[in-house]
Structure 1
Amino acid sequence: MIKEGDTVHLKGKKDSFFVIVKQNEEFSTHKGTIKFNDIIGKNYGDTVLTHKGEEFLILKPTLYELIMFGIKRHTQIIYPKDSAYITLKLGLTSGMKVLESGIGSGGLTIVMANALNPDGRIYAYEKEEKFLKTAMKNLQLAKLDHIVVPHLQDLSEPIEEKDFDAAFIDVREPWLYIENVKKVLKRGAPIGFLVPTTNQIVEVLKELKRLNFIDIEVEEILQRHYKPVPDRLRPEDRMVAHTGYLIFAKNG
């Protein structure tokens, strides 16, 4: 049963909206206004009408849908094809303490926070206040903001927390901060990076080697969708190809 504070996916014939249900409030669309009181108490899979009589199906959004279609973006996000893999490579589970630098719009943060829920924490470092505020609102939409401890700073400043179980860095020049992160990362703990160009990979690799990191890997993930038509199954004309290079290592 849907209750106040739940996030719902309102799916119409052509339009979709992702909203947090609030008692005695309304949500306005070009198809009409929906009263949240008409949603509270219903079950996912039920429908609700706008004041114009337009019908919307009430669905429980998946994390994928929230990230790809629901969250507000100020920056390019890390796509689920990468964020799910990053989460597995870092071995994230509840109870872990994770450092993230360059939170952006929070796409990766949502996936990592979901893996860390309920007892893990992400200490998120972001120097742009606008990005940090947007990311925290997006985390509220996913009901995962309680997992994240936001810091309005970059990693050039002293890092107060210690003994991190894992770290991920997504900034323009990550090699500048690896030494600072190494000091607060547990011995043997994994670290990951995302960079868009090969020359950035080289700089990161140089610094990882200099600082005696081990198990260094460089990877790229490509994803291809197919048209789900039985009589003419074929790849989609467009695909999410290069989004970034992934680098992983462990603190030696």
Structure 2
Amino acid sequence: MTNEAWAVLVEEDGKVHVVEMTSGSRKIKGLGVFDPLEVIAPVAIGEQVGIGQKLLTRMPTRLPELNKGMLRRAQTISSKDAGWFTARLGIGSGDRVLEAGIGSAGLSLHLARALGGSGTHITVEPRAEHAEVGLENLRRARESWVEFPEHHHVEGTIETVTETIQSHCESFEAIVLDLPDHPPAIAAVAPMLVVGGRIACYCPVTQQVERAWEACEEAGLNVEWAGELMERQWGRASKGGMRPVNGPFGHTAFLLIAQRL
């Protein structure tokens, strides 16, 4: 179930457009000039609509569609890594999650979906230009989904805004850090973890994951897992059968999970 605040339109090649359903003719990037309420509102989920020279299918505003059609500025955490984080952290309804390094909110969307209407999600980002994009993507999700967590955003580096964070929430079941320098942040937020709570670090290079591991141990946390996830897509071959598709099979980041015992 969704409301009519946003609409998802998918081109035949899979490209996704997320359109705000406000009245009045205006230019929609990639689609042209038209009135969304007039053109899209009468189209049911699953039906097609012609806009300019494009034939598009209206789809629900679910997580995969909003993620694929999200606004982007900073590098985003892929669904491969975001889904693994969400599962390994054990995030669910009613939990409290602190996320530092919101970027374009690729991970934030996954966290918000898992937390539902009874969870609390606090994001921290020192770069206003990145936060602007990420918060807009979260707004789309909040206005599209039936349930959305209580959300607060704090501007600044996480180790300098701990008092502001704790004015919203004193402790957390999960903390996620996507930062260039993890140790200061780990030292600052590890005391906020509840017993059994977990911290996750997203580290593009080996030096970062090693320093994060050392910082977690210094903070009294038990490192449960560190490594990387590999993803390889397969498709149908022209002469029958299945084979790996041609495309990138590279590194995204090293991931680390540590728990407070």
Shift of 1:66: 2.5
Mapping for residues 115-126 of structure 1, pairs under 5 Å: 115-126=114-125
Residue deviations 1:150-208 (CA, integer Å, cap 9, x gap) = 11111121413111111000100111211110122212211100101111121111111
Task: Say if 1:62 and 1:235 are closer, same or farther in 2 by CA, change over 3 A.
Answer: farther
Q: Secondary structure of 2:90's match?
A: coil
Residue deviations 1:80-110 (CA, integer Å, cap 9, x gap) = 0000010011111111111100111100000
Matched with 2:203 is 195
- Whole-angstrom CA distance in 2 between matches of 1:99 and 1:13: 36
Shift of 1:20: 2.1
Segments of structure 2 that go 5 or more residues without pairing to the other structure are none
Letter in 1 for 2:199: I
Task: Say if 1:23 and 1:12 are closer, same or farther in 2 by CA, change over 3 A.
Answer: farther
Q: Does 1:207 align with 2:215?
A: yes
Q: Secondary structure of 2:121's match?
A: strand
Shift of 1:42: 3.0
Matched with 1:75 is 74
Mapping for residues 49-198 of structure 1, pairs under 5 Å: 49-50=50-51, 52=52, 54-67=54-67, 69-143=68-142, 147-160=150-163, 161=166, 162-198=170-206
Q: Is the 8 A contact 2:8 2:16 kept in 1?
A: no
Matched with 1:250 is 259
Shift of 1:111: 0.4
- Whole-angstrom CA distance in 1 between matches of 2:248 and 2:109: 23
Q: Is the 8 A contact 1:11 1:58 kept in 2?
A: no
Q: Secondary structure of 2:114's match?
A: helix
Question: What is the total number of aligned residue pairs between the two structures?
Answer: 250
Shift of 1:227: 1.9
Residue deviations 1:97-142 (CA, integer Å, cap 9, x gap) = 1110011110000001000011112110100011111101011222
Q: Secondary structure of 1:104's match?
A: coil
Letter in 1 for 2:70: I
Residue deviations 1:13-67 (CA, integer Å, cap 9, x gap) = 68642212223444546665443223224311122233x4753222224422332
Letter in 1 for 2:59: L
Matched with 1:238 is 247
Q: Which has the higher strand share?
A: 2
Letter in 2 for 1:79: S
Task: Say if 1:3 and 1:23 are closer, same or farther in 2 by CA, change over 3 A.
Answer: farther
Q: Is the 8 A contact 1:168 1:193 kept in 2?
A: yes
TM-score, normalised via structure 1 length: 0.89
Matched with 1:40 is 41
**Deviates further, 224-233 or 189-198:** 224-233
Q: Is the 8 A contact 2:217 2:223 kept in 1?
A: no
Letter in 2 for 1:199: Q
Shift of 1:234: 1.0
- Whole-angstrom CA distance in 2 between matches of 1:222 and 1:65: 22
- Whole-angstrom CA distance in 1 between matches of 2:203 and 2:115: 24
Matched with 1:21 is 21
Shift of 1:12: 4.9
